Structure 1
């Protein structure tokens, strides 16, 4: 991976729709100029006007010509304006599909997701700090609704007497939160164009470490959606137990709503999630203020928890398990470093400020809740979340309990939005480097990474159904992936500072080293202590994902090597005199010569089933190309072949006809083998197969016709030098 330090002014991490179309590298540009010179030399001597087009490509309208009208059921052709020279600009976002069902589906999509946005609007689809805070912190802040409970549930295994360890553990976790938060502040400063663990680890530790970090983050983001939604549904069922049987359907409905909201774009999604996050912050501040005020009234004397017998002995292993369980409250702390390009300018400064607010609120809420739960003598139960118990104790009457539960449910259900913001962006960076399918580079109608959003939704829905929406079953899977990413990112930052050795690099490296050491400790503890509880799934999934990413990258590398422009090895660009009059009988042209039109030798092949208007139009089109043309007929038996040859002679025998008798009545197989044999006899030939295609008006009519061109294209796809093209024929047209 190339270094993407923003200090070099590199704009590679800036997310724009143009990232889907990367520029040529310098070597390819030199090769392109070399090939262009050969094109120019080979085309000298052409008669004047040979390159004139029969139409005006700029579509300029003339007063003596009628305005273009609708073509069939398509939208009007007049949807362009002239931009730069030799450039047209579409003035409409998209053409409506021709069918009635297609037009209705398009209108419904625009109602749900909004009208398409111009590519230029990407600069305005960014977030200010007050919007970015709820969008990016919803996962981090909402985790305090289940993080303390996860820690206490482990301590409770040693009996109610072990709950007193929650205070020192909370202090240690607060220190870890501050250390990791300060470390990521440095990451944002070092990579002002945005860089999560994938980029930082890949730049400084190598591609393998970057892919491992990416795999850990991807599992974390998927689990973030599943855990947040299941915890939100549990908050609802704690207040309304009658809905407990609807946990999975309600969770799937929420995931669908999250997808719809994010498909409307970054700014719209941010506006949708601002109010619930701030409502949760206000509700939690009110809960802490009233709870600590009442605790102060009784002299901070803790209430004795109900007696619970121990089922495990209190030892170091159990304490470490409790610590790693409480560490799930830190998931989402990396969101800002991934989403720096989504901030308004200056991006890095605004993202650092937002990150500082997030960490400060996390420490305040986590520490305040653990302390208040300890003073209130509460223990985790299966029937009701511990936050719900604390709200009932703090507000025994009045509407406040309902308001706190509603705010908690909303923030938990919408906390998955952090993953919806970062997961597609991570896939974008990986696809840009060739480690993920390139379709994840594409921005949808609303300038959101629609393919990444859909992929996250499907994966989270599968996890939600597989674990039946049980938060407790999902928590053990949660910490391993995210702390793997934390550890690799901070280790990469240590090497980053050591390589640059700028002012204060030792202090910066020490901060990242401390954060990396703490994260590594939690990673090892979580992987070891929770391995049998489900963490083995992530331990196994991460290397499998790394292998998958590597296979994708190798495929794209092979594809790039085969399609890249390679200049000839030395020597001046040859003129037309060195172009042979005819290629050799076998063997393709040299790679640097295949792009020259004079090196392409054609044979046009037209499969003809019967002589009707469709086949005659295909024959006329093939002959109009001015290239050698061959017609092929597949006959099921000899008498039918004789009849067809008689019809062919009646037509005039204008083109060479080859008849193939297929006694087993197969059509595609014999035709494909025959074309393969033709290509093998002259590998330098380009076979262009012209297949007439009858275009029917209704979709159900397609069931009445064989899709010959599609079957033939699938059969010949692996054969180089064969082009299958269909000639649409409209009945009655």
Structure 2
């Protein structure tokens, strides 16, 4: 578990390339010096020979991070060109070469749906003001009032009118729980101003197992958020258009497919556009509450007698506990603001706390208002129509305001489902960063979306939606367990945090978090017991399986790290006499430095691309792309030097601090190969590397540039998905450029 929450990778809810260059301890630094001495003894070179390259590696710099701003309607920006000139080539034509007709059709269809590869773009920070952050980050929590109260009433109605009489005290208890948990998360924001989700907080303060359990609960929560939100949104539509009810499952799958395609396109619309549905829903709910209260005022607020439902169960503690657990699902999404503190404008933590207070106030007001008017108007759940639809019909009949209420409800529920598409890949990213999930979840697709996480969420949510036939009442029992497991562990972690740090007012903060932890744990136990046979066992089993899988993945990565670690036995060999001797390293022959004013016209490469039928006509430059100086990286460097061609090492660094550390490690090794560090302010690694290689290519088009990557090769097929596929991504992106070769140097681990 990464203990440094200050290094949280998720500024403003958008992941950035890891700034945590693997540190080298004293033993590894000693081995690195030893390897460097071996290179020097076997291949001594003068400083002039060392710097001999056929191109100038200094191709310019990217703009400072402060000068990069998102576009008006999104967070994608074009990566600036290096070295002068602009390359607008795309990989579409090259990707189609050699494909079968079916393959070309599939490729073109994918491009129509997802768009062309954005190899020249990256994601940048976008800070939000409070009025924009409120609807964007609160959509999940606020939309839950569309199904939370109804879920509670659906349990109470089983006991007939006697059960419905308990709706007000149970709702008051849930409202109190909302206030307590909301205040608790205000303390979390103060303690974790860089963003502190349940996984981070529980892992930092309680240890590995609680952190993974919280992550498992969150992942289950996000899958069910999509399924429940879609189910509730479809229910709002079918309440207004009953003829669509038989098509509930197909309509839900279509909605999930649309969310999948939209998120795979990588389009990040500005918060203003996302704000509209949430504000429309808030307006619709208050119009609904005020309208029904006004109607009730005419009768002196005397409750309308409800239909007398047939009691199928007796009222008892178990039924009341089930109703309480079902109604508590209205709290899902409360932690979203504490996760995304860096998304706010400065002062970030203060603005986040203010926004959280607004959200809790709105949530309590809407939840309490809906329960109050349900009681006054005598409405009970019906299978053919939602409670909100019944209330809207009573006040607005079937007029424009009824349509507005239903449309706003459906829109905000779909937006809440889309929120999970942002948060689910975020949790997977954090897990992958810490080695508990495959590293493929660290990577962005060619549309700069976290395609693997998005696809996994869509598949899981679709399966859940189909299995439960899109029925909200059937899905709710699964929901509460994951939500309140994350709440409980997060708040318990905060109790440990305050006991450890003992900052100003720590006792008051500890009291708030302890109360939140206690109440959340009570709801968790209640939900697990009362809803176990109704489906909670599925969520509990899924969390257990996740924990088992995460620990196995971590075990593999620990073995891989041990194999890659610099240690004496891996860098020394015995000579014939049995003594330790340096491993042989090939020499690299010097090449002329690029003259001032550029290369002569006859070396520009014009017309030469088709005249390389003999080895003498090929002029080489080997570019070794390195993320770290481990055994795999050193092996790639040794392979490049063995080609006896000019060699250049390149490291893409997201921060100046990391760049300085890498240069320090490079100097410790001995600086035997020219190194160029590209300081990239963009939230991407591959795109800046591609631009750098393109800049080198433009300097001397006649040069054949071989990009060399260290590659981890595993013994077992099941482990292959756990390691990087950068070589394949680079091949696809660089394919349009002539005279670029991408190769990999395998490093085998068991």
Same fold (TM over 0.5): yes
Could you list the runs of 5+ residues in structure 1 that have no partner in the other structure? 61-78, 600-616, 626-712, 719-724
Q: How does 1:474-489 map to 2 (within 5 A)?
A: 474-489=475-490
Partner of 2:469: 468
**SS of equivalent residue, structure 1 residue 19:** coil
Name the structure 1 match of 2:560.
559
1: CA distance, partners of 2:234 / 2:131 = 27
Q: Does the 8 Å CA contact 1:230/1:469 hold for their aligned counterparts?
A: yes
Contact 2:184 2:512 (C-alpha < 8 Å) held by counterparts: yes
Work out the CA distance in 1 between the residues paired with 2:86 and 2:487. Answer: 45
Tell me how far 1:246 sits from its aligned partner. 1.5
**2:173 is paired with a residue of what secondary structure?**
helix
Residue 258 of structure 1 deviates from its aligned partner by 1.9
Separation of aligned partners in 2, 1:106 and 1:52: 45
In the alignment, the residues of structure 1 paired with residue 232 and residue 488 of structure 2 have an alpha-carbon distance, to the nearest angstrom, of 27
**Partners of 1:231 and 1:412 within 8 A in 2:** yes
Report which stretch shifted further, 263-272 or 408-417. 263-272
Task: Write the distance in 1 (CA, Å) between the matches of 2:300 and 2:349.
Answer: 45
Contact 2:32-2:566 at 8 Å conserved across structures: no
Aligned mates of 1:92, 1:461 — CA distance in 2: 38
Calculate the aligned-residue CA RMSD, in Å.
3.9
Q: Does 1:312 align with 2:313?
A: yes
- Please list the CA deviations of residues 555-589 of structure 1 after superposition, one character each: whole Å capped at 9, or x if unmatched: 111100111123579xxx99xxxx866698xxxx9
Structure 2 stretches lacking a partner, 5+ long: 60-78, 97-102, 588-611, 621-712, 719-726, 728-734, 739-750
Describe the shift of the 1:93–1:533 C-alpha distance in structure 2 as closer, same or farther (beyond 3 A): farther
Deviations 1:638-683 (A, max 9, x none): xxxxxxxxxxxxxxxxxxxxxxxxxxxxxxxxxxxxxxxxxxxxxx
Give 2:741's aligned residue: none
SS for the counterpart of 1:301 is coil
What do the CA deviations read for 1:294-337 (whole angstroms, capped 9, x no partner)? Answer: 22222110001001121111111111110001001011111122
CA drift at 1:439: 1.3
Deviation digits for residues 141-195 of structure 1 (CA, Å, limit 9, x no counterpart)? 1111111111011111111232121111111000000111111111111111111
Deviation string, structure 1 residues 407-445 (Cα, Å, up to 9, x no partner)? 111112221122112111111111111111111112345
Contact 1:483/1:523 (8 A) holds in 2: yes
Partner of 1:18: 17
- Rounded Cα–Cα distance in structure 2 between residues aligned with 1:717 and 1:619: 40
How do residues 293-312 of structure 1 correspond to structure 2 at under 5 angstroms? 293-312=294-313
Match of 1:172 in 2: 173
Distance 1:715 1:220 in 2: 35
Residues 117 and 504 (structure 1), Cα distance of their counterparts in 2 relative to 1, 3 Å cut: farther
On the 8 A contact 1:58/1:82 being kept in 2, the answer is no
Are the equivalent residues in 2 in contact too, given 1:237–1:244 (CA < 8 A)? yes
What is the aligned partner in structure 2 of residue 131 from structure 1? 132
Task: Verify: 1:98 aligned to 2:99, yes or no.
Answer: no
TM-score (norm 2): 0.70
**Superposition pairs of residues 220-369 of structure 1, within 5 angstroms:** 220-265=221-266, 267-268=268-269, 270-369=271-370
Whole-Å Cα distance in 2 between the matches of residues 243 and 593 of structure 1? 76
Distance 1:398 1:252 in 2: 29
Instruction: Answer 1 or 2: higher relative contact order, Cα 8 Å, separation at least 6.
Output: 2
Q: After superposition, where does 1:392-411 map in structure 2 within 5 Å?
A: 392-411=393-412
In structure 2, what is the equivalent of residue 371 of structure 1?
A: 372
* 1:19–1:159 Cα change, 3 Å: same
Match status 1:508 vs 2:524:
no
* Counterparts of residues 647-726 of structure 1 (less than 5 Å): none
Aligned pair 1:38/2:41, yes or no? no
Partner of 1:648 in structure 2?
none
TM-score, normalised to structure 1's length? 0.71
| Deviations 1:229-274, CA, capped at 9 Å, x for gaps | 0111111111111111221121111112223333454741745432
Aligned residue for 1:384?
Answer: 385
Q: Specify the alignment match of 1:495 in structure 2.
A: 496
5 Å matches for 1:536-615?
A: 536-566=537-567, 597=585
Check 1:113–1:128 CA distance in 2 against 1; reply closer, same or farther (3 A cut). farther
CA distance in 2, matches of 1:59, 1:536: 59
d(CA) in 1 for partners of 2:222, 2:370? 25
Q: Secondary structure at the match of 2:94?
A: coil
- 1:551 deviates by 0.6
2:3 corresponds in structure 1 to: 3
Please tell me whether the aligned partners of residues 135 and 273 of structure 1 are also in contact (alpha carbons under 8 angstroms): yes
Contact 1:31 1:565 in 2 (8 A): no
1:116 aligned partner: 118
Tell me what 1:183 maps to: 184
Q: CA deviation at 1:716?
A: 11
Q: Distance in 1 between matches of 2:386 and 2:313?
A: 22
Residue 18 of structure 1 deviates from its aligned partner by 2.0
Partner in structure 2 of residue 431 of structure 1: 432
Distance 2:715 2:167 in 1: 66
Q: Is the 8 A contact 1:16 1:122 kept in 2?
A: no
Mapped to 1, the partners of 2:226 and 2:308 lie a distance apart of 35
Q: Bigger shift: 405-414 or 503-512?
A: 405-414
Relative to structure 1, the CA distance from residue 177 to residue 583 in structure 2 (aligned partners, 3 Å threshold; closer, same or farther) is farther
Give a deviation string over 1:48-103, Cα, whole Å, max 9, x none. Answer: 9876878437599xxxxxxxxxxxxxxxxxx99656xxxx9985585444144769
Specify whether residues 233 and 3 from structure 1 end up closer, same or farther in structure 2 by C-alpha distance, changes over 3 A only: same
Deviations 1:426-469 (A, max 9, x none): 11111111111111112345544332222211111111122221
